[in-house]
Amino acid sequence: MDDLNQFQNFHSIPSTNKYCMELLSKSTPKPFTAISADFQTAGVGQIGSTWVSHPGENVLMSIIVYPDFINVLESFKLQFLASLTCVEVLTPYIDKNELFVKWPNDVLVNRKKIAGVLIRNIFMGSAIRSSVIGFGLNVNQMDFPGVENPVTSLKAVTGQDYDVPALRQQLLDKFRTLYDLLENGKSLKELYMMMLFGYEEPFSFYDLKDQSYKRGVINDVLGSGHLLVKVGGVVEKYDFKEIKFIMDA
Ligand code: BTN
């Protein structure tokens, strides 16, 4: 891929994340190389799930970066970056009071998921050598057959159609701006915390460690990504998959 061709859209590929990982395994693409698709035949979601999207209706895009300024122990900084990128793209269209990030990185409108992020890092020593940051942003899709959790799209929220290539470009631009801030030492954590569902606001959840329902407030998110929740007077620490948010409580 040459200098002028750092962005490539495919009509159909298995997964933009997988494609970027393959590129990285055999070359060193320019930073901010972005691969998008109208359709993925094997889109990957969090925790081994699949990401299904109707052809041409949504943003499906992965971006390659080399964040060697981030220590392995702080790799969650990339989640701050990715979630805030989605928030920034959506704020012109969505009432900010309705927009939340559900830890670690689901973006919600009215408690329904509108975007998800999948990050794949390659480490070198104690730093991140390269990273593929994949975004699935629901734009014009109106029905989500077979999806269990509540899902929405820009069109479902506002009733309007959107230009998917324009949103892709906006996402890439916002990503670059926030990435530059991060590289220049700005912490994105405070902004992320402000958007976080349950931050200083009581929420209900299921604790998978001791298998019980609880209510608490988010206290902090560590650089490692661990979530700290204050339950009663006690701060409890959660790893991914150890907590399930109850969104309708
Ligand atoms: C999630 O489950 O919340 C993460 C979803 C990430 C989906 C995007 S779509 C573009 C990129 N390619 C993939 O295969 N997955 C990510």
pTM exceeds 0.85 for this model: yes
Residue among 16, 59, 118 whose CB has most ligand 1 atoms within 8 A, to mutate: 118
- What stretch of H or E contains 20? helix 16-26
Give the angle subtended at the CA of 182 by the CAs of 200 and 116, to the nearest 5°: 60
Q: Is the CB of 29 under 6 A from ligand 1?
A: no
pLDDT at 2: 46
pLDDT band at 249 (very low <50, low <70, confident <90, very high): low
* Residue 49, pLDDT score: 87
**Is it the case that residue 166 has pLDDT exceeding 50?**
yes
pLDDT at 55 over 80: yes
Does ligand 1 have an atom closer than 6 angstroms to the CB of 16?
A: yes
Q: What is the pLDDT of residues 104-128, one digit of tens each?
A: 989 999 999 999 999 999 999 999 9
State the pLDDT at residue 104: 93
Counting from 1 in the atom list of ligand 1, the atom nearest the Cα of 36 is 10
Residue 124: per-residue pLDDT? 93
Least confident of 1-15, 19-33, 106-120: 1-15
pLDDT at 219: 94
pLDDT value of residue 4: 47
Instruction: Say if ligand 1 is within 6 A of residue 17 CB.
Output: yes
**181-185 LR contacts (CB < 8 Å, sep 24+):** 182/67, 182/70, 182/77, 182/80, 182/81, 183/67, 183/69
Mutate to test the pocket of ligand 1, among 36, 40, 51 (most ligand atoms within 8 A of CB): 51
> Whose alpha carbon is nearest atom 10 of ligand 1?
60
Q: Report the separation in Å between the CA atom of 132 and the middle of ligand 1, taken as the mean of its atom positions.
A: 11
Provide mean pLDDT across the span 237-249. Answer: 89
Whether residue 39 has its Cβ less than 6 Å from ligand 1 = no
3-state secondary structure of 96: helix
Q: Which residue has the higher pLDDT, 142 or 149?
A: 142
67 close to ligand 1 (CB < 6 Angstrom): no
**CB of 50 closer than 6 A to ligand 1?**
no
* pLDDT the model gives residue 5: 60
Mean pLDDT of the chain: 95
How would DSSP label each residue in 179-217?
HHHHHTT---HHHHHHHBTTBTS-EEEEETTTTEEEEEE
The minimum-distance atom of ligand 1 relative to the CA of 45 is 2
| pLDDT at 174 (0 to 100) | 98
- Reply yes or no on whether the pLDDT at 35 is more than 80: yes
Does 47 or 205 have the greater pLDDT score? Answer: 205
Question: 3-class secondary structure for 32-73?
Answer: CEEEEEEEECCCECHHHCECCCCCCCCEEEEEEECCCCCEHH
Residue 43 pLDDT more than 90? yes
- The torsion angles phi and psi of 145, rounded to 5 degrees, stand at -60, 135
Question: 2 exposed, middle or buried (CB, 10 Å; 0-12, 13-18, 19+)?
Answer: exposed
Q: pLDDT band at 247, cuts 50/70/90?
A: confident
Ligand 1 centroid vs 136 CA: distance in angstroms?
A: 5
Here the tokens at position 211 are 């298998």
Extract the tokens encoding 104: 């670690």
Q: How many C-alpha atoms does 143 have within 13 Å on its Cβ side? A: 2
Does residue 136's CB lie within 6 angstroms of at least one atom of ligand 1? yes
